[in-house]
Amino acid sequence: MRAEEIRLGKTRKSLFKDHVMSILPDGGNLNLCLTCGACASGCPASGIGDMDPRRFLRLAAMGADDEILSSDWAWWCTMCQRCIYACPMKIDIPQLIFNVRASRPREQRPKGIVASCDAALKHDTCSAMGVSEEDWRFVVEDVLDEVRAGQAGFEKLQAPVDKVGAELFLNQNSREPVTEPEEMVPLWKILNLAGADWTYGSKGWAAENYCMFMADDASWEHIIRTKVKAVEDLRCKAWLNTE
């Protein structure tokens, strides 16, 4: 009996895949997948919700936009780019993930990420905890006073804020000054013992950017421009982001 030929025919167009291919050099190589599984083998989110990078890309290639959009896996992906590193064809799956996130209505995106993005837009500190410039200065100065008074050998410890012309502009995870302020101290000690010329800014000091993870381009750009302006206004030579 002659085997029947199986023809896949024309696949549905994927709005997600086509858009990504239109904005990336060489289309992000999205048409070069060998289905080898190298991307899935190194992915920390592989297997969550019965999904992995290889399957996600294949669904996009087949035009299964509804299935992709209804899956929460795009929010489990960290966009760490391990898949690109492992892929022999260097396919840019994280950009595909970002495009899927951006296609979700804002009210359907993870509440924690949305809230953190909104909090970061409240002040020029860019803090995802909503910390104001005044509260930030208070915490840094208060913790610094405690260390100087209570830890031998660190009576002259420095944690400058808005030092003009410093070599390094240091960013800080904004959860630490709110919930674990003592966690900032080890880095201060290292920088001081190394003789580094550094400063925090009263503006743009928060290291994280949840608006990027939410795929909110306009808010993401606002956060970055605020941070860049803070670095430039203090005339720092390098920007050190701890995240």
pLDDT of 220 strictly over 90: yes
CB 208 within 8 A of CB 113: no
Helix intervals (H) in the chain = 15-23, 38-41, 53-61, 65-70, 73-76, 82-86, 93-103, 111-120, 133-150, 176-179, 185-193, 210-213, 217-233
Residue 99's pLDDT is what?
A: 86
The pair of structure tokens assigned to 182 is 């003592």
Looking at the fold, whether 90 and 150 belong to one and the same domain comes out as no
Looking at the fold, whether 142 and 28 belong to one and the same domain comes out as no
| 5 assigned to some structural domain | no
Domain boundary among 70, 104, 138: 104
Question: Do the strands 168-170 and 238-240 form a parallel or antiparallel pair, or are they unpaired?
Answer: parallel
The pair of structure tokens assigned to 122 is 């409240």
Angle formed by the axes of helices 15-23 and 93-103, nearest 10°: 120
Looking at the fold, whether 68 and 187 belong to one and the same domain comes out as no
| 224 assigned to some structural domain | yes
Q: Name the average pLDDT for the chain.
A: 89
135 phi, psi to nearest 5 deg: -65, -40
| 30 assigned to some structural domain | yes
Selection from 105, 15, 108, 113 nearest residue 68 by Cα: 15
Sheet with 198-199, side-by-side order of all strands: 198-199, 168-170, 238-240
pLDDT of 26 strictly over 70: no
Q: Domain of 41? A: 15-104
Looking at the fold, whether 82 and 131 belong to one and the same domain comes out as no
The pair of structure tokens assigned to 135 is 């509260």
| 52 assigned to some structural domain | yes
Distance CA 237, CA 158 (A): 19
Looking at the fold, whether 121 and 231 belong to one and the same domain comes out as yes
| H-helix or E-strand spanning residue 240 | strand 238-240
Domains: count for the chain: 2
CB 60 within 8 A of CB 16: yes
Q: pTM of the prediction?
A: 0.81
Looking at the fold, whether 34 and 120 belong to one and the same domain comes out as no
Looking at the fold, whether 152 and 59 belong to one and the same domain comes out as no
Residue scoring higher pLDDT (146 or 25): 146
Distance CA 54, CA 33 (A): 8
Question: Do the strands 238-240 and 198-199 form a parallel or antiparallel pair, or are they unpaired?
Answer: unpaired
Looking at the fold, whether 212 and 134 belong to one and the same domain comes out as yes
Cα dihedral sign for 172, 173, 177, 181?
negative
Domain boundary among 104, 122, 153: 104
Least trusted range by pLDDT, from 99-108, 172-181, 193-202? 99-108
Cα dihedral sign for 144, 169, 77, 113?
positive
pLDDT in tens, 138-193: 999 999 999 999 999 999 999 999 999 999 999 999 999 999 999 999 999 999 99
Looking at the fold, whether 75 and 129 belong to one and the same domain comes out as no
Distance CA 75, CA 43 (A): 14
pLDDT in tens, 54-89: 998 888 888 888 888 888 999 999 889 999 999 998
- Range 6-14 average pLDDT: 49
pLDDT > 70 in the chain, percent: 89
Residue scoring higher pLDDT (234 or 12): 234
Looking at the fold, whether 130 and 98 belong to one and the same domain comes out as no
